[in-house]
Amino acid sequence: MGRILFISNHAGFSKFNAPYMKWFKEKGWVVDNISPGIEIDEYIDKQYDVAMTRNPLTIKNIIAYKKIKKIISKNNYLIVHCHTPVGGVLGRLCSIKARKNGMSVIYTAHGFHFFRGSSKLAWLLYYNIEKMLAKHSDCIITINQEDFLLALANFHIANIHRINGVGVNLLKFKPVDRETKSALRHTFGFRDTDFILIYVAQFIERKNHVFLINQVLQLRNKIDKLRILFLGSGPLMEKCETLVENLLLREHVKFMGYRTDLDGLYQLSDVVVSVSSQEGLPMNIPEGMACGLPVVCSKIRGHVDTVKPLVNGFLFKLGDGEEMSDYVYKLYIDKHIRKVISKQNIIDVEQFSVVNSVNAMAEIYQQYM
C-alpha cells in the first residue's frame, strides 16, 4: 500500500482533487492533504492545516516551509502532488531530500504566471522560479496548450503532459428542460423573461469584475430585462458592490456569494461569461457548456482552449467592452444561434469531463506507483 500527499495553498482545493483522491483510495493508498484550513473530504486520511499566502515572500510561508518539510520527512510518501503556485513552490522545495531517496514529485500548473502578454517582471521572476523548480520535479502537468508548449521548450525534464483541466462532473452539470428552468428561476426570484448572464469567479483583480459591471451601463439600454449573476467571494467583492450601488445597477446585478448549488444557477441562466485577464483553464466555462449555455469570454490563454468562435460561443479582445457587449446582444436577439450553440456545447464538453481527466491522470500516476 502506497501513500500520497497533495499540497495546495488554497483552502477548499480538495474539492478539485477529490476524484483523484478517490482513485487512490480505491487502489488501497493512504491519502494525505496539506492546505490552509480544515478540509472535509471522505477520501482524505490525514489533513494538515498549514497557513500559506499568495505572496511567496512572507513569514507565514517560511513557517509553512518548515511545517511541510517536517510532514514529508516523517511520512513515507511515494508521491507528492503539488498544486497552485505557492503550493507548487513550497511542495517541491520541501521534497528535495525525500525525492533523492526515491519519492516522486508531480506538479500541476493551473496557469503559469508568465505567458504571452504578461509583464517583463512576471517573466523575470516567475519564469525563472518555475525553471529552477522544474529540476526538482519528476512530472509537470499543464492544462492549456500555451503552457504545455512553453514547458516543453524551456523545462528540460522527461515528463511534461497536458490534460483538459480538473474535470467537470457531467452527472451534476447538465441541461434541463424549459419547465425545470422556469421553476429554478422562480425559486431564486427571477422571471422567465429575464436574460441572465452568469459569471463564477473569485473577486480578485485578474477576474476583471469591474470591466463587466461597466458594460452593464451599455447593455441595459439594449436588454431591458438584463440580469448578471456574480457567484464567488474575495477581497474585491465589497468594492464591486459599491460600484454597482454608485452606478444605480442593483436592478441588473446580483451578488450571490460563494455557492454550493452552482449547477442550478447555471441551469437557470442564458449565457456564461468570463472576462478574466489571466486563466489556466477555468472551470466556469465547461460547467456552463455542460448546462447547454453559450459562452462569451475574453480571448486569452485557457479561454481559447475551450471556446471556438461561432461554434460554442464568442471570444472578444481583452478590454474591448463594445465587442463583448455586441456578442451578448447577438445571443439575446438570436434564439436560433443560442439553440445551435447549446446543442454543440453539450457535445463538446465531453472532452472536459471529470471521467476523462481522471483517466488521463491515472495513466500518469501509474508511472510512479
Question: One-letter amino acid identity for 75?
Answer: N
C-alpha torsion angle, residues 165, 167, 168, 171 (rounded to 10) = 160
> What's this model's pTM, rounded to 2 decimal places?
0.92
Interatomic CA distance for residues 329 and 198, integer angstroms: 15
pLDDT in tens, 26-52: 999 999 999 998 877 789 999 999 999
Query: In which residue ranges of the chain is CATH 3.40.50.2000 found?
Result: 3-167+354-365, 178-351
Which DSSP state fits 184? Answer: H
**Whole-number CA gyration radius for the chain:** 21
Q: What is the pLDDT of residues 258-312, one digit of tens each?
A: 998 999 999 999 999 999 999 999 999 999 999 999 999 999 999 999 999 988 8
pLDDT digits (tens, 9 = 90+) for 115-144: 888 888 889 889 999 999 999 999 999 999
Site of grid cell 496539506: 34
Q: What is the pLDDT of residues 154-197, one digit of tens each?
A: 998 999 999 999 999 999 999 999 999 999 999 999 999 999 99
Q: Please, are residues 90 and 65 in contact by the beta-carbon 8 Å criterion?
A: yes
Predicted pLDDT at 224: 87
Instruction: Confirm if 157 and 140 have CB atoms less than 8 A apart.
Output: yes
- The confidence score (pLDDT) of residue 109 equals 96
Give the residue from 71, 92, 95 showing the smallest Cα distance to 83: 92
Burial class (CB in 10 A: 0-12, 13-18, 19+), 366: exposed
Q: The domain 3-167+354-365 belongs to what CATH superfamily? A: Glycogen Phosphorylase B; (3.40.50.2000)
Cα distances (angstroms) measured from residue 27 to each of 20, 39, 141, 358, 363: 11, 22, 22, 14, 14
From the candidate CATH numbers 3.40.50.9100, 3.40.50.2000, 3.40.50.2300, 3.30.1490.20, the one assigned to the domain spanning 178-351 = 3.40.50.2000
Q: Which residues contact 90 (CB under 8 A, 6 or more apart)?
A: 7, 9, 52, 61, 64, 65, 68, 82
